[in-house]
Amino acid sequence: MKIRFLFWLSLFFLALNAQEPVTWQTSFDRVSPTEVILQFDAQIAENWHLYTPATFEDGPLPTELIFSTNSLRFELDGDFETSLPKSSYDAIFQIELPYFDKEAQFSQKIKLLDEGLIQIEGEISYQACDDKVCIFRTEPFQIRLDGSTTPQAELPLSAADQERTAQLTLVLKNTAQLEEQFNQTANNSLFNLFLLGFFGGLLALLTPCVFPMIPLTVSYFLKQGNSLRAGIWQAFLYGFFIVLIYLLLSLPFHFLDALNPEILNTIATNVILNLVFFAVFVFFAFSFFGFYEVTLPAHWGSATDQKSGVRGGLGIFFMALTLAIVSFSCTGPILGSLLAGSLTAEGGAQQLTAGMAGFGVALALPFALFALFPNALKVLPKSGGWLNTVKVVLGFLELGLALKFLSNADLVSHWGLLKREVFLGIWTLLSLAVALYLFGVFRFPHEGKPKLSAIRLGSAVLMFLFTGYLVNGLFSQENKLSLLSGFPPPTFYSLYAQESECPLGLDCYKSFDAGQEVALAQNKPILIDFTGWACVNCRRMEEKVWVQPDVYDLLTEKIVLVSLYVDDRSPLGEDQQFNFEFPDGRRRTIKTVGQQWATFQSVNFNAASQPFYVLLHPDGTLLNAPIQYTDAPTYLAWLEQGLEAFEKIPKVATPAWLQNF
């Protein structure tokens, strides 16, 4: 009996510890009469991770400092600083993440606008995870700048607060499904990124920097060898070294302690970085138009060219390196555009290597093939004005890609500059400009009169068709431009007033209670869509998975959709704000829509990442395991599995007061 008692007692303390994995202490350091550094020290339970203030796509919610009062009597001086975090692969989010374990220190320097300010209040919003679950918490704080220690009063809990707490806490059935969460992520596979890099390499071949080098280099190797076999072997070795050089560009990332996820991941969310990429790609585009040349330092190419005279494999390696340096003005923008626009932090250096490998293989392939079949060089098109035409078309492509980065910054900042119609309108003009250019309607100053070949005219016709496709998507509500999914802004980010902010024109509810009432009345299961306004993967799911006819039909006819935005900072009405009490007795104030639904997700489903989908019977029965970011076939199978489980549950008579829904 005693052993059993100790066993259950230990489980109790383990559960208590799991619910409160992070404890905080606050202090301050007065630098001057008007400068104060606020200190926040976190003690973290074993096996738990606390995350940094950095934001990551499809990653954890950042640790944030939110001031609640007296904000007009001081201003922030600098960023929210932290101690040095660790970094490793996170099993919950399945990406490389910086984190803290055991302890962490945070600080924020402020400048007092009122030297008489005595107390600063606010809360620390944070997320912590172990290897299975995550919790989302808000820790209130009071810092007395006069040095006194006034104990912080416990948040009161009125009858209305208790009622709202009960409403936000579900009585779930079949909770074993929570132990079997799919945790699947549909990220770009390494093979897909290899193909993407390969496609970029093929484009680079058709540029004036690379194409003329193919017959010259292959002929050189075939003439230098003592035999045809030796020439072919050297050309193959040359191709191998080209691939190796591009692989070596990604090698340093593998030797870092961990690849900094911000390098690749914040492209989708960081405003400054998006604007930098926008400017860089516009700069590259005008170099493709011929207004100036972008090259690496000339002495780099000269040095490697001199060393290419060394006999043997080392000389061939330097010949390949010379090609990589000399062709940078054409290959750099293409490689940068493809990789920067596709990589995420979920693959880290492996994704970078896959893309580089594909690019290198595409560049090396013609050298190896023409060395193997030297007579085929006779049918290779001669260099000429068509190469410059390809380069100019790539310049327009660069402008289109640059616009995507500007759109990312606009979406995150809610500037409203590039609504969906504006974005598509600019892309339409760029596409039309390419078609007119290929038809010879205009040309750039450095170009002569173009020769309208069959290939050029055919390409112009294709661009006109693509322009028509964009125009149709611009003015048609039915055409969602599925071929361009993920590039234009979402359909609800529009110049025109929308009937709802639900994706794809679906009927959805922004409140769980409202959705549950409709589900009871219509005898349908509930699909809880935990999403976010700035959640990139949420948009990808909507535009690539939900848009599929089979999935869309189920969402329209068989399911009640409840979309809950956990990053919505819209304040709740004063009569709707309340103090929430966690199962362990801890309390927090719910002031915003996002806090409400983030707490709802954390408390009921032990999760904090988005997108996160739950299929639920209106009576609270989990129909299957929750699922996250995945592909269309998997998502469709998941929906069908949940609907099948729903049909097996005995029907409950609809209350009379709900029959009119």
pLDDT tens digits, residue range 605-619? 877 667 889 999 998
pLDDT of residue 447: 74
Q: How far is CA 67 from the centre of its chain?
A: 28
Q: How far is CA 597 from the centre of its chain?
A: 21
Higher local confidence (pLDDT), 131 or 524 = 524
Highest mean pLDDT among 345-359, 402-416, 444-458: 444-458
Distance CA 517, CA 47 (A): 40
pLDDT tens by residue, 236-275: 888 888 888 888 877 765 654 344 333 444 344 456 777 8
- C-beta of residue 295 within 8 angstroms of C-beta of residue 324: no
Distance CA 623, CA 301 (A): 63
pLDDT band at 127 (very low <50, low <70, confident <90, very high): confident
Distance CA 620, CA 627 (A): 17
Tokens of 507: 């009927």
Angle at Cα 236 formed by Cα 234 and Cα 238, nearest 5°?
Answer: 70
Percent of the chain at pLDDT above 70?
A: 70
pLDDT tens by residue, 306-360: 554 555 667 777 777 777 776 766 676 676 665 555 444 344 567 677 878 888 8
Give Cβ neighbours of residue 56 (< 8 Å, ≥ 6 apart).
93, 95, 97, 261, 262, 265, 266, 269, 345
pLDDT tens by residue, 291-307: 776 554 554 445 444 55
User: Residue 567 phi/psi, 5° resolution?
Assistant: -105, 15
- C-beta of residue 50 within 8 angstroms of C-beta of residue 99: yes
Pairing status of strand 119-129 against strand 49-51: antiparallel
- Amino acid at the residue 414: H
Distance CA 581, CA 553 (A): 39
pLDDT of residue 257: 36
Biggest CA-to-CA distance, the chain:
97
pLDDT of residue 637: 92
Domain range summary for the chain, segments of one domain joined by +: 21-153, 190-418, 503-658
Strand (E) or helix (H) holding 98:
strand 95-100
For 503-658, give the CATH class. alpha beta
For the chain, counts of helices (H) and of strands (E): 19, 17
CA distances from 428 to 433, 456, 468, 470, 496 (A): 8, 20, 8, 6, 19
The answer, yes or no, to whether residue 3 has pLDDT greater than 50, is no
Highest mean pLDDT among 103-117, 146-160, 360-374: 103-117
Higher local confidence (pLDDT), 113 or 94 = 113
The separation between the first and the last C-alpha atoms of the chain, rounded to the nearest angstrom, is 55
Give Cβ neighbours of residue 10 (< 8 Å, ≥ 6 apart).
none
Give domain 21-153's CATH architecture.
Sandwich (2.60)
Give Cβ neighbours of residue 488 (< 8 Å, ≥ 6 apart).
407, 420, 423, 424, 427, 481
pLDDT of residue 414: 65
Pairing status of strand 578-581 against strand 587-590: antiparallel
Q: How far is CA 453 from the centre of its chain?
A: 42
Distance CA 389, CA 437 (A): 9
Domains 21-153 and 503-658 share a fold: no
- Amino acid at the residue 170: L
**Angle at which helices 328-342 and 349-372 pack, to 10 degrees?**
140
599: buried, middle or exposed (CB in 10 Å: 19+, 13-18, 0-12)?
A: buried
- Map 468-537 to HEC letters: HHHHHHHHCCCCCCHHHCCCCCCCCCCCCCCCCCCHHHCCEECCHHHHHHHHHHHCCCEEEEEECCCCHH
Instruction: Name the 3-class secondary structure at 35.
Output: strand
User: Residue 218 phi/psi, 5° resolution?
Assistant: -65, -45
Percent of the chain at pLDDT above 90?
A: 8
Highest mean pLDDT among 131-135, 155-159, 515-519: 515-519
Higher local confidence (pLDDT), 441 or 206 = 441
**Owner of token pair 């897909």:** 192
pLDDT of residue 426: 92
Average pLDDT, the chain: 75
pLDDT band at 182 (very low <50, low <70, confident <90, very high): very low
